[in-house]
Chain A
Amino acid sequence: MNSLKSSIQETAERLIKRGDFDLEAIKRCIECRGCERDCPSFKTIRSYDPTRICRDIVEGDGENWLKSETIWQCLECHTCSEMCPQVYSWEKVMKTLKSKALKIGLAPQMVTRGAELFLKTGRLGEPRLPLREELGLPKAADCGTGDFKKIVEILGAGAKRSKSD
């Protein structure tokens, strides 16, 4: 557990140093909070408070949030980014944390499974054939698995972050 914790800390610190977060923008986020009352999660989930997360990031404690369910409570509804006077937004902060959490294996199980399914097939489910037939729908078009695999290969995408990365 300790080694996991230290590896998470190391990763997060490195990421922050690399400039994944715009710390100046986050400081203004902490002051502004103009989107707060319009954020659907802030309104309905009592414990959801991105300002706390922003403060921790500024203070260098952002890594603690990588394993929390809180960062996954951002719905990516774009309400905050729509209102953000600095075109930054809570959503961008949460997205960065989610992405890092997924790479180091701390995402919720369903996200990890969804990612596996997606990287295998290029889509998120197969057409439901019996119901298609019952409804008299035409055959579903083929999906571009070949091109999908080529793009994944070109980009080397979806590879798990190795320890030395």
Chain B
Amino acid sequence: MRESAFFWGCTIQARYPFFEKSTRVVLDSLSIPYCDIDGFTCCPEKSLVETIDEKLYNALAARNIALAESRGMDMLMTCTGCYSTLKSAWSKLKTHQVERRATNNILKELNLEFKGTNSVRHIIEVFVHDIGLSKIKRKLKRSLSRLKIAVHNGCHLVRPSNAINFDDPLKPVKFDWLIEALGGVSLNYETKMACCGGYLDRVNQSEKGHAMASEKLSELSALKADAISVVCPECFKAFDNNQFLMQRKGAKFNIPVISLQELMGLCFGFEPEQLGINHHRIDPSEFLKKFDSRNG
């Protein structure tokens, strides 16, 4: 497997370094080659930067891709916002000659060029397609042992599908396959594809965002889900931080948010503290107790 430059993005490094920790633990456990390279800017974040200036948005995304390409590397990431931005940019530059020429005219000033020889990938793509579910199963020291996990894919993991193109844009399955491979039950629930609402936090409309997240959390509470699982730090924030804020105002959901990489790390035999799970705002101890007792 070719070495990838890991693209952490702003949110993970500024807010949730433990996301980075568990991701590194899992990549190392599966011997997936990756490294950090200097010089990445923000992906950039679509909802803000494309709104500021579409040309700037396109040029910065192209530069990040070309920077990895100049080192002969693919790009790997877990934040679905970064993934959707960079993979959309990659697809456009790969297929649209006029766009590519215009962009390369800008990149030339930085001694970079988009040639289209590398690829932009999400960790789920690598887990499912390169590593494979059977190898992941062989790595397990512990199992989710039928714990009920609610997969939250996140909008930008699968859309826009004309660029992303690795799972169904409205009924994706690959995240679920990984949960099942870890021995969990991936819940089939009505609000599964509903947006986390995190965007509304960034436009001064948090309460409406909370209402959106609470629809999902209420359903999961009724279904007695053991945890909700995400791969995106923004979705994590919407369910962990915002659930905490809603509970402070009296809501009672108590649905811990355990990322895919944290679930994998636990099943590969790591302790919660080694993965940074102790830094969540929603107390995961009930979930961890259940996990331990079923693996007793």
Q: B117 — which chain A residues lie within 8 A by C-beta?
A: none
Known: A114-B202, A132-B17. 6 other contacts (CB 8 A): A44-B208, A137-B24, A140-B13, A144-B67, A147-B110, A151-B63
Q: Please tell me if the beta carbons of A151 and B39 are within 8 angstroms of each other in the complex.
A: no
Q: B40 — which chain A residues lie within 8 A by C-beta?
A: 141, 143-144
Q: B159 — which chain A residues lie within 8 A by C-beta?
A: 77-79, 81-82
Q: Please tell me if the beta carbons of B204 and A108 are within 8 angstroms of each other in the complex.
A: yes
Q: Please tell me if the beta carbons of A75 and B39 are within 8 angstroms of each other in the complex.
A: no
- The one of A119, A124, A147 in contact with B10, judged by C-beta atoms closer than 8 angstroms, is A124
Take A78-B159, A108-B204 as given contacts and tell me if A148 and B212 are in contact as well, using a CB distance cutoff of 8 Å. Answer: no
Q: A157 — which chain B residues lie within 8 A by C-beta?
A: 52-53, 55-56
A interface with B by C-beta (< 8 Å): 38, 40-41, 43-45, 69, 72-73, 75-79, 81-82, 95, 98-99, 102, 107-111, 114-115, 118-119, 122-128, 131-132, 135-138, 140-145, 147-148, 150-152, 154-155, 157-158
Expressed in whole angstroms, the Cα–Cα distance for A154 and B212 within the complex equals 40
Take A144-B63, A147-B41 as given contacts and tell me if A76 and B52 are in contact as well, using a CB distance cutoff of 8 Å. Answer: no
Closest chain B CB from A44 CB (angstroms): 5
What string of 1s and 0s marks CB contacts (under 8 Å) between B178-197 and chain A?
A: 00000000000000001101
Expressed in whole angstroms, the Cα–Cα distance for A95 and B197 within the complex equals 17
Some 29 contacts from A to B, beta carbons below 8 A apart, are: A40-B212, A69-B205, A72-B200, A72-B203, A75-B155, A76-B47, A77-B199, A95-B51, A99-B50, A99-B51, A102-B52, A110-B202, A110-B204, A114-B48, A114-B202, A115-B52, A118-B42, A118-B49, A124-B10, A124-B11, A125-B10, A125-B11, A125-B14, A125-B15, A126-B14, A135-B21, A142-B39, A154-B106, A157-B56
Q: Within 8 Å of chain A (Cβ to Cβ): is B145?
A: no
Expressed in whole angstroms, the Cα–Cα distance for A107 and B204 within the complex equals 10
Interface residues of chain A: helix, strand, loop or mixed (majority): helix
Take A118-B44, A151-B60 as given contacts and tell me if A108 and B203 are in contact as well, using a CB distance cutoff of 8 Å. Answer: yes
Q: Please tell me if the beta carbons of B13 and A127 are within 8 angstroms of each other in the complex.
A: yes
Closest chain A CB from B55 CB (angstroms): 5
Number of CB contacts from chain A to chain B under 8 A: 183
Q: Please tell me if the beta carbons of A44 and B215 are within 8 angstroms of each other in the complex.
A: yes
Q: Within 8 Å of chain A (Cβ to Cβ): is B222?
A: no
Q: Please tell me if the beta carbons of B106 and A151 are within 8 angstroms of each other in the complex.
A: yes
Closest chain B CB from A22 CB (angstroms): 16
Closest chain A CB from B65 CB (angstroms): 13
Q: Within 8 Å of chain A (Cβ to Cβ): is B156?
A: yes
Q: Please tell me if the beta carbons of A72 and B110 are within 8 angstroms of each other in the complex.
A: no
Expressed in whole angstroms, the Cα–Cα distance for A144 and B66 within the complex equals 13
Expressed in whole angstroms, the Cα–Cα distance for A147 and B48 within the complex equals 20
Q: Within 8 Å of chain A (Cβ to Cβ): is B114?
A: no
Q: A155 — which chain B residues lie within 8 A by C-beta?
A: 53, 55-56, 59, 106
Q: B84 — which chain A residues lie within 8 A by C-beta?
A: 78
Expressed in whole angstroms, the Cα–Cα distance for A150 and B56 within the complex equals 11
Q: B236 — which chain A residues lie within 8 A by C-beta?
A: none
Q: Please tell me if the beta carbons of A82 and B56 are within 8 angstroms of each other in the complex.
A: no
Q: Please tell me if the beta carbons of B195 and A40 are within 8 angstroms of each other in the complex.
A: yes
Q: B34 — which chain A residues lie within 8 A by C-beta?
A: none
Expressed in whole angstroms, the Cα–Cα distance for A125 and B205 within the complex equals 21
Which residues of B from 102 to 157 have beta carbons under 8 Å from A? 106, 109-110, 155-156
What string of 1s and 0s marks CB contacts (under 8 Å) between B14-39 and chain A?
A: 11011011001000000000001111
Expressed in whole angstroms, the Cα–Cα distance for A77 and B136 within the complex equals 31
Expressed in whole angstroms, the Cα–Cα distance for A40 and B11 within the complex equals 23
Q: B14 — which chain A residues lie within 8 A by C-beta?
A: 124-128
Q: A131 — which chain B residues lie within 8 A by C-beta?
A: 17-18, 279
Q: Please tell me if the beta carbons of A75 and B200 are within 8 angstroms of each other in the complex.
A: yes
Q: Please tell me if the beta carbons of A137 and B155 are within 8 angstroms of each other in the complex.
A: no
Take A127-B14, A135-B17, A155-B59 as given contacts and tell me if A78 and B42 are in contact as well, using a CB distance cutoff of 8 Å. Answer: no
Q: Within 8 Å of chain A (Cβ to Cβ): is B272?
A: no
Expressed in whole angstroms, the Cα–Cα distance for A109 and B203 within the complex equals 8
- The one of A102, A110, A115, A143 in contact with B41, judged by C-beta atoms closer than 8 angstroms, is A143
Q: Please tell me if the beta carbons of B109 and A154 are within 8 angstroms of each other in the complex.
A: yes
Q: Please tell me if the beta carbons of B39 and A147 are within 8 angstroms of each other in the complex.
A: yes
Report the nearest B residue to A109, measured CB to CB.
Answer: B204
Q: A125 — which chain B residues lie within 8 A by C-beta?
A: 10-11, 13-15
